[in-house]
Amino acid sequence: MTGRRWLRRLGRFLLWTACLWFVGTTLFVLALRWINPTTSAVMIEDRITASIERDARFKYRYWWTSLANISPHMRVAVIASEDQKFPYHWGFDFDQIQTAIDEADDGRRQRGASTISQQVAKNLFLWQGHNFLRKGIEAYFTLLIEWLWPKERILEVYLNIAEFGRGVYGVGAASQFYYHMPAARLNRYQAALFAAVLPSPRRFRIEAPSNYVLRRRDFIADQMEGLGGPSYLLELRNPHPEQLAQIKKRHR
């Protein structure tokens, strides 16, 4: 009897914990639909690491830039580079996930399969690393973000918390640091170069791009044009199945 009572109490405790977690995280993510984050989990971790290691070269650069003050070229560049199905999916690109699994099984170099929504979830809320617990929490926050935020807000947060070099976070800070101008003035090739370093912003350098980065920049610029350029941003509000069919055909 005592054992059963203990199990019932444990069950109630776990149920209440799960309910509080769901309500708390839902309200928090919902608030961020309108409240601009002043930092992210990745930024906090990087600053702590730099402080512990006494890295004198680390300088924290970050400030918020609204989507209206970010060049349309920059908005299209990250979609063309990172997630061309962004207007259409609910947080996960299962075709890319399957492709990544197949390439790993074949022993080929693995590609990233994270959508923009997933990257927002892990950069904003989670610690760095790779394990099943982290991936599970990432998936949970990805679903919350897709449920509670419009696509424009997801893209806006992504562009403001993405890392563009050691200590440089967000396209507003990056544009001033590398080009000495506001993010609204970025042209197609400058935006494509920013997008080209996103897979590994500490390995690839905007100020001294390698031949690989330059080739990737040119490829992204071509993809931007193929999507329709800034006019593609209309898809964030009114996605058309015909456009998705064209994107799928391009990836075959």
Domain locations in the chain as residue ranges = 1-31, 37-251
Considering the entire predicted model, what is its pTM? 0.88
In degrees and rounded to multiples of 5, residue 15 shows phi and psi of -65, -45
- Quick one: 218 exposed, middle or buried, by C-beta within 10 A (0-12, 13-18, 19+)? middle
Q: Is residue 161 scored above 60 in pLDDT?
A: yes
Pick from 6-20, 44-58, 196-210, 231-245: least confident: 231-245
Topology given in CATH for the domain delimited by 37-251: Penicillin binding protein transpeptidase fold (1.10.3810)
| 88 close to 115: Cβ distance less than 8 angstroms | no
pLDDT at 128: 78
pLDDT at 66: 97
Closest C-alpha among 129, 101, 94, 140 to residue 115: 94
Task: Look at 156 and 244; give whichever has higher pLDDT.
Answer: 156
* Percentage with pLDDT > 90 across the chain: 65
According to DSSP, the residues that pair with 169 across neighbouring strands are 62, 163
What average pLDDT does this structure show over 9-20? 89
Q: Is residue 103 scored above 80 in pLDDT?
A: no
Q: Mean pLDDT for the chain?
A: 88
According to DSSP, the residues that pair with 61 across neighbouring strands are 168
Rounded Cα distance between 216 and 199, Å, is 11
Task: Look at 233 and 191; give whichever has higher pLDDT.
Answer: 191
pLDDT band at 250 (very low <50, low <70, confident <90, very high): low
User: In Å, how far are 19, 20, 139, 140 from 16, measured between CA atoms?
Assistant: 5, 6, 21, 18
Pick from 18-22, 122-126, 148-152, 233-237: least confident: 233-237
What average pLDDT does this structure show over 131-142? 91
DSSP string, the chain: -HHHHHHHHHHHHHHHHHHHHHHHHHHHHHHTTTSPPS--HHHHHHHHHHHHHT-TT---EE----GGGS-HHHHHHHHHHH-TTTTTSSS--HHHHHHHHHHHHTTPPPPP---HHHHHHHHHH--SS--HHHHHHHHHHHHHHHHHS-HHHHHHHHHHH-B-STTEESHHHHHHHHHSS-GGG--HHHHHHHHHHTTSTTTS-SSS--HHHHHHHHHHHHHHHHHTGGGGGGGGTS--HHHHHHHHHHH-
Cβ–Cβ contacts within 10 Å for residue 130, how many?
A: 6
pLDDT at 252: 47
